[in-house]
Structure 1
C-alpha cells in the first residue's frame, strides 16, 4: 500500500501482518487462516486483500480506514469480525480489516501464487497442477445493477412463497455481487509463473510460464461470459532438456549440431539461434556429412541415424551395432565414416539410393558397410589419422590399439592409462595422438613409434572430450569437473583454463578454422568460446589460478556464476577409490544377476553354478561375496569410495546390511559402512519411506553388535589385568612394561634433584 506507506507480509506461520514503515512496527495481524499462507494480492484500489492457503478456498478481506471523529466510528468497530486479541494489535491505528467471505477454487492443491493485472481488477491463481483460475472484480456501477437484479429475484421468490411485501431483504453488497469467476485455462504442463495484462475492450492477456521452459500467451474476454479463452502464441525454449552428450561444427564454421538424451538441435553460430530440432532417442555422438546437409548420429541403442537438416527428418535408421554406438569419425577423404561400438569397428561408405517413399524417385543419402574390424574388448572411441594410414581404437581395457587402415593389420598398442580412454584425437600432421582417460590424465604419444611423450594431470575428474586445433599441436580438453582447458602439445604446458560448466562437461569441439571452441555438459548448456588476439602470459595465468585456489581453500567457498550451483566432488578422489567403487558396483551386479537366476529355479532342479568371481573369492554365498568385496577396500579409502557410489547402489547395500549384521562378523566395518552411506545420501534416503524399516533394523542390529564388541573388549581388558596381577603376586616380579614405567619415574625424580642442587650451587 504505497499511498499509506504500509507493508503487508505473509508466512508459513499462518499469519498476515501489517507493518507501518514510518514507525517500523507491526500494528495488525490476521489469524483467520488454518495453514500456511502461500500468497496474497490487493485488489480494487487496495480495498480488498485475497489470501491463498493449502486448501481450495481464497479468503477475501475488506480493508478500510476509520476516523475517530466520524460518528460511525463506534459502529464500524463493533461490526468487525475479530476472532482473537491478536487480530487487532493496535486499536489506535485507523486501518481495519474484516473478512467478507471466501471464493472456492477448482484446484485441490495448495496455492502457489496469486497475481493481479496492473488495474487490480483481475486476479489469477495457480497451484501445483496445470490449471490457471481467474476471478474478475466487477466495477461499482455494475455491482449496483447486479445487486438490484438479485434483490428483484429474491423479492419475487418471497412473494411467490406467500410472504407479504416480499419479506425483509438484505440490501447490502455481498461477495457474490462483486466477484465473478472467469474461464479456467489449462496449460500444456505444470504452471510455474503467471502474468496478466488488461487490454482494450475488456480483453485480458494471460502469459503463463510452464516448467518445460516454454511460454504460453492466452486471450480472454472479461465482458463476454460465453467466449472461451484462445491460445495466441506458444514460445518454446530452444535449449535442451537433458544432458548434451555430443557437439560438432559444420565445415563452413557457421553451424553447430548438438545431441542430447531426447533430441538433436542445429544452431546458427553467429546469431546463436536454434534453427532446427529433431526428436530422437538417446544420442551419444554426432558428426556432419560433407556438404553440411546431413548429420550422422550414433544412438545409445546402437543405431545410426541419417538426418536431413533441411527438412528436419530422419531419413534412415541403420542397425549399426548391438550396444552403445560411442564414436563416429569421418574419413580424411570425406567418402565415408567409421563407427565404434560393442566389440567392433565398422567402416561405411556414403552412397545415394532411391527413396522408396517418394514419388519423384529422388535419391537420398545412405551408408554401406564395407569392412568390419572385430576386437576382443568393447570399443569406446575411434579416430582415423589425417594421412589416411592408421585407425586408432580405444578399448575398455585401458589400452589404445592402432591398426593400418587399409589392411587392419596391427601396428602398435598404447599402454599407460590406469582407467579406460574415453576420448582421443590425432593432430592434423599425423605425428601426435593425444588420449584422455577416466584416470584424469591426458597422454601425448608419437604416431611413429607409439612412445609416450608426456603424461599430464589434466582434470579433477574423468577427461571426457579432447580435440586438436587444426594445423597446430594445441589441444583442448574437457572433463567431468566442468572445466575446459587448452594445452600445448609440444611444450606440454597448460595455456588457459575456462570455467564454463556446472557439473559434468561431456564433449568439446573446435571449428575447422580454429577460431571457436564449443563445449556441452550435464547442465544442459552450450558454451561457445572465441579466440582473442590479446597476448597471454602463462606465468600470470598460473599465478591467478593459484591465488584463486588459495582463496577458495581459505574461505571454503567455490566460484559460482549466474547463480548456478556447482557440483561438489569427493575431496580425495583417487584411482584407488575409483577402482574400489567399480569393484563394489561389479559385485552388486553379479549378486543381482545370480539372485535372479536362483528365483527362476524350481525346487526339484539344481541351483545354478556360482559366478566365476564368487568362485575366485572362494565364496559360497552372495553375503560372503559382498563382505569379501568390502574387506578388499582399504579402510582409509572406504568413505571416499562410498561417495562415488550412486544412490541406487547405496540403497541395495543398505538392504543387504541386516543379513550381514545378523552373522556377527565384521560388525564394526559394517556399522561404519552404514553410517557413511547414510551421511553421503542423507536427503534421498530419509525421503524414501520404503527404506525406513530397513534402516531401523540396521540401527538395532548395529547397536547390539557394537555393544557386544564393547563388552568383549572390556572383559578381555580386565581379564588380562587380572592375569598380570596374579603373575606379579605369584612370582614376585614386575612385568617389563610396568618396570619400564617405574624406572622412568625414578630417573625423572633423580634429574629434578640434580637440577635443584645445581641451582643451589649457582645461588651460593
Structure 2
C-alpha cells in the first residue's frame, strides 16, 4: 500500500516592510506606498503604517526586482528575479490575481517604464536586453540587443518616439521605435551608468553613474537614482550612501530671462571697456561678440540636502498636499492644478516651498521626509512605516506554549508576533540576539546574545527586567526550556552549557539564577533536552554530538559521523530517534538507545541550520542555507516535501505543538507560516513535479546555449547579430500550449476521418436502398472529446486556451505540417467565426514564420489568396462596426454633457493623451497664457467697438 502524507503549504509571510530588490512608488492620492516585499508588493497606508493589500502571484517565489506605477494611477507593472513581468489593476480589489504575465527576459528585471497612456511598457534586465511590450495586445513588440552588461534603467522619450537605456557597460543607447534600431550610442567617460531621467518635454536627459558624474553636473559619489518631480520643477539625486540632493529645475522662461540679463551685462561690460580705452563710447562690433550660453549650473540650482539615518535604497516623489482631485475610484485620484500661485508673471512654474519624498532605506523601513525647497533648506522625517518589519535578519525563533506568539531575535531588536494575525505585539530593545525562548507561562522572553549575555524581558511592559551579562564568555548559540519544568539550558561559544532557573519575585519581574554549569571539549552550537527530560544533547564545533544524563551530567553517548560542525539536533517525542544537521549538508538519523546511525539523508545543497521533530511522530522539518524548508519521514528515510519561498538562508524554524503549522525565519528578514492542509501527498507525484522543474530548467539552458553561440558567432564576424529580435521566451506554459493545439489538430483530423467513413457508409447504404434486406442505417455517434462543439468552435477554443502572452511562442513550436493544417482549418472560419482578432493574429504570425515554405509550395498559393480576400473583408467589417459604436458612444456622451452641463473625466484624459505628454506645469502655463490672450482680445474688441462708434458719429454729423 502506498503511504500518503498531508501537505504543508505557505499560509502567510510577514516581517518585511520593504525589501532591497526593487524601487518604491506612491499612488496618486499620496496616501499609499507601494514597496517590494520579497515576492510580493506590499501596499502600506503611510499615515497609519498598516498593510492595506498585497499584490502576490500564486505559485511565484521569485523576488520583486522592479515596479512601475502608470500615469493613470491604476496599472502597476512588477518585474521579478526570474525575468517575468506581471501587470496588476489597483482598482480591482475583488480579485487578487494579476491581469497578465509577460515572459521575455532570462534574468532579473531591473527597470520598467510606461508611456503616458499606459499602452506600452519598456523593460530592461540583467540579461542585457531591452524589451518593448504592447500592454493592450499582451504581447512583446520587439527585443533590443546591444548592451554588453546588465541594463540598469530605461526611459521612453515620447516627443522623439525613441527609447533611452543605460547599462553597467557604461553606454547610453538611443533606440528608434519605428525602425527598432539603435540610432546613437554614447560612452560614459569611465565607470558604470546606474540611472536615467528625462523630463516630460524631452528636452533634458540626465544619466548618473559610478564615476560621480551626471550629464549636466559632477558629484562626489556614485549616483544611484535620478528622478524628476513636482511637475518637472524639481530633481532629486540619490547616492549610494545615506545622501539625497534636491535641485530646482529652471523653466524655459526663467532661462530666457537669465540669457537676456547675461547678454545685457556683457554688452555693458563691453561698453565700459570701450570707454576705458578711448575715453568715449565709439560703438561695439556686433560680429566680434559671442552669444552667452547656459551651463548646467544655470539649469539646476541646488536646494535641500537630505541625510538619512541608514543607507538609502530607493525614493519617490509624493503628490503635493492640499490639491484638488479630479475624480476618484478605489483610492486612486488624479491631481488637478488648482493653485493660482504656481504660475509667475512670466508664465513659468514656480517651485513650491516644500516637497515630500517617500524614502526606503536598508533597514527594512519606509519614511516620509518633508524638505524645504530652498538653498540650505532642512529635511525632517514626518512619518515612517517600520513597526511591521525586522530591522535586521532574525537569527533565533521560538513559539509560546499555546502557539499563539512567536519571538524572533535580531540584532538590536527582538520582535514578538501574533502568529494568527501576523501583527507585531512587542518590540524588545536588546543586544545582538542569536537565540530566544519563552518562560513562565510565556509571560517572559529570554534572549541569548552574541556578547554572551542573557536578557529577560516582560511581555506585559516590553521592558528589560533582568540581564546576566556574564552568562557565557562567548556567543549564546542555543536556548532551550526543559519539558515539564522551568529550567533553561543555554549553550555558548565558551565550551560550556549552563542551567538557569527563572524566579518571579514580583509581578512583571523575573530573575535568572544559575543552577550549574558543565564544560565540554569545544564550542556548543546547539543544546537540547530530550522530550522526557532525561538527557541533554549537545552539538559541538568538533563535528561530534555529546549526550549527557540531565541529573548527573555524566556522558551517556558520543556520536561521530559528521564531517563538519554539527549545527542543530532534535529528538523525537518517544525518545527513540535523534536527528542532527551539520555544515556538511547532511542530516543523520541516530538511535538514542545505542547511538547507531540509521541513515544519512542528502537533500539540502547547503549547511543544515535547524532540525525539529513534529510531536508524537517520526516526521521532522529541516531548514538550510539553500533557502528551503524540507519535510522528512525518519522511519522510511524519505523526503516528503520541499517548501520553497524564502529568498535567503533559513536560520531558524519552530513547529507547533500539534504539528498543524511551522514557522521559519530567514536572512531575508521574513517569517513564514507553513500550514498543514487536508490535501494528500504522494511521493511519486512529488518526484514527477521535480522532474518537470528539471525539464523546464533544461529548456532555459538550451536557449542560453543557442544565444551564446549566436553571440560568439557575431563576435567572430561569422554572422552579424541582429539588434532587434522576438520578445517572447519559451517556458513550460508555452510548451503545454503548443501541445494543446497539436492535440486539438489531431482530434479534429481523427474526427474528419470518422465523419468521412460515416458519409461513405451512409452513401453505400443509400445506394443499396433503405429498405434493403439486412441493411442497417449507419449512425454517427457524437465525439465526446469535442465537448458538444463543432470542429471550428473546438479549434478556436483550443487556441483561446493559450494565453495571449504565450501564443506566439506556442505557435513557433508547431511543425510546418501542423501550421499548414491549422491555416487550412482556419480558412472557412474567417468569414463567420466571432474571434476575428485571434484568427488574424494566428494567421499573420504563421505566414511570417513559414513564409519561405508557403511561397515555395504551389499548392498553398490558392489557400493564401483565399485567406487574403476573406481576412481583409472580415477585418474591414469589424473596423466599421467598431467605428460605428465609437461614434455612437461619443454622440451619447455629448448629449449627456449638454443636458447635465458637465464634462466627463474620461474626456479630460482623452484630451490629455491626444495633446501629447503635457505635464501639469505645462498645462498651467498654457492656461495662464490663454487667460492673458483672452484679456488682450477683450481690450482689442473694446477698441474696435469704440472706433466703430466714433466713425458712425462722424458720419451722422
Q: TM-score, normalised by structure 2?
A: 0.46
Contact 1:428/1:470 (<8 A) preserved: yes
TM superposition shift of 1:351: 0.6
1:220 Cα deviation from its structure 2 partner: 3.4
User: Residues of 1 paired with 2:401 and 2:483: CA distance?
Assistant: 13
Say if 2:671 is the partner of 1:526: yes
Match among 204, 209, 229 for residue 360 of structure 2: 209
C-alpha spacing 1:27/1:267, structure 2 compared with 1 (3 Å) = same
- Note the 1:68-87 alignment, pairs <5 A: none
Change (3 A) 1:411 1:151: closer
Work out whether 1:391 is the aligned partner of 2:536. Answer: yes
Q: 2:382 aligned to 223, 232, 253, which one?
A: 232
Matched, 1:47 2:203: yes
Q: 1:120 aligned to 227, 232, 238, which one?
A: 232
Write the mapping of 1:534-613 to structure 2, written as runs, cut at 5 A: 534-545=679-690, 548=693
Aligned match of 2:599: 455
Alignment root-mean-square deviation, CA:
4.2
Q: Does 2:308 correspond to 1:187?
A: yes
Aligned residue pairs, count: 504
**Aligned position for 2:902:** none
The CA deviation at 1:133 is 2.4
Q: What pairs up with 1:89-104 in 2 under 5 angstroms? A: 104=217
Q: Quick check: 1:158–1:166 contact (8 Å CA) kept in 2?
A: no
Residues 185 and 443 (structure 1), Cα distance of their counterparts in 2 relative to 1, 3 Å cut: closer
Q: CA deviation at 1:419?
A: 5.4
The CA deviation at 1:514 is: 1.7
Secondary structure of the corresponding residue to residue 332 of structure 1: coil
The 10-residue stretch of structure 1 (527-536 or 424-433) with the greater mean CA deviation from structure 2: 424-433
Deviation, 1:365, is 0.5
Q: d(CA) in 1 for partners of 2:298 and 2:595?
A: 88
Q: Does 1:264 align with 2:376?
A: no
Instruction: Show the counterpart of 1:426.
Output: 571
Query: What secondary structure is seen at the aligned counterpart in 1 of 2:664?
Result: strand
- Give the Cα separation in 1 of the matches to 2:174 and 2:582: 61
C-alpha separation in 2, matches of 1:6 and 1:242: 42
Q: Secondary structure at the match of 1:541?
A: helix
Greater CA deviation, 269-278 or 322-331? 269-278
Kindly indicate whether residue 586 of structure 2 is the aligned counterpart of residue 465 of structure 1: no
- Alpha-carbon distance, 1:528 to partner: 2.5
The SS at the match of 2:687 is helix
Which residues in structure 2 correspond to 1:230-629 (within 5 Å)?
230-236=380-386, 239-240=389-390, 244-318=394-468, 319-341=470-492, 342-353=494-505, 364-376=509-521, 378-396=523-541, 398-408=543-553, 411-414=556-559, 421-438=566-583, 440-447=585-592, 449-450=593-594, 452=596, 454-460=598-604, 461-501=606-646, 504-545=649-690, 548=693
CA distance in 2, matches of 1:17, 1:403: 68
Contact 1:137 1:180 in 2 (8 A): yes
Deviation by residue 1:228-266 (Cα, 9 ceiling, x = unmatched): 343322344855565543211122323222224554332
Equivalence for 2:177: 21
Q: Distance in 1 between matches of 2:473 and 2:197?
A: 59
Counterparts in 2 of 1:441 and 1:37: CA distance versus 1, 3 Å: closer
The answer for the alignment partner of 2:53 in structure 1 is: none
Distance 1:35 1:396 in 2: 44
CA distance in 1, matches of 2:258, 2:436: 66
CA pair 166-15 structure 1, distance change in 2 beyond 3 A: farther
Change (3 A) 1:553 1:364: same
* Unpaired stretches in structure 1, ≥5 consecutive residues: 60-101, 355-361, 558-764
TM normalised by structure 1 equals 0.56
Q: Secondary structure at the match of 2:221?
A: coil
Counterpart secondary structure, 2:598:
strand
Determine whether 1:2 maps to 2:146. Answer: no
CA contact (8 A) 1:462 1:479 kept: yes
CA distance in 1, matches of 2:304, 2:617: 64
SS in 2 for 1:184: strand
Tell me, yes or no, if the aligned pair for 1:156 and 1:166 is still in contact at 8 Å.
Answer: no
The match for 1:580 is none
Q: Aligned to 1:386, what secondary structure does the other structure show?
A: coil
What residue is the counterpart of 2:52 in the other structure? Answer: none
Please tell me whether the aligned partners of residues 43 and 121 of structure 1 are also in contact (alpha carbons under 8 angstroms): no
**Equivalents in 2 of 1:453, 1:12: separation in Å?**
52
Q: Tell me, which stretches of 5 or more residues in structure 2 are unaligned?
A: 1-156, 324-338, 340-351, 703-957
The 1:545–1:14 alpha-carbon spacing in structure 2 relative to 1, beyond 3 Å, is closer
CA distance in 2, matches of 1:158, 1:265: 72
SS in 2 for 1:540: helix
- Report Cα offsets for 1:150-182 as digits up to 9, x if no partner: 788889989999788999899979567764432
CA 1:187–1:344: 2 relative to 1, 3 Å: closer
**Separation in 2 of the partners of 1:34 and 1:408?**
66
1:48-89 Cα distance to aligned partner (Å, 9 max, x none):
444556676755xxxxxxxxxxxxxxxxxxxxxxxxxxxxxx
* Structure 1 contact 33–53 (Cα < 8 Å) conserved: no
Q: Which protein, 1 or 2, shows the higher relative CO under an 8 Å CA cutoff with sep ≥ 6?
A: 2
Change over 3 Å in CA distance of 1:402–1:367 after alignment to 2: same
Going from structure 1 to structure 2, the CA distance change for 1:126 and 1:395 (only over 3 Å counts) comes to closer
Q: Is the 8 Å Cα contact of residues 368 and 383 (structure 2) preserved in structure 1?
A: yes
The structure-2 alpha-carbon separation of the partners of 1:337 and 1:120, relative to structure 1 and needing over 3 Å to count, comes to same
Deviation of the 1:287 alpha carbon: 1.2
CA distance in 2, matches of 1:34, 1:506: 41
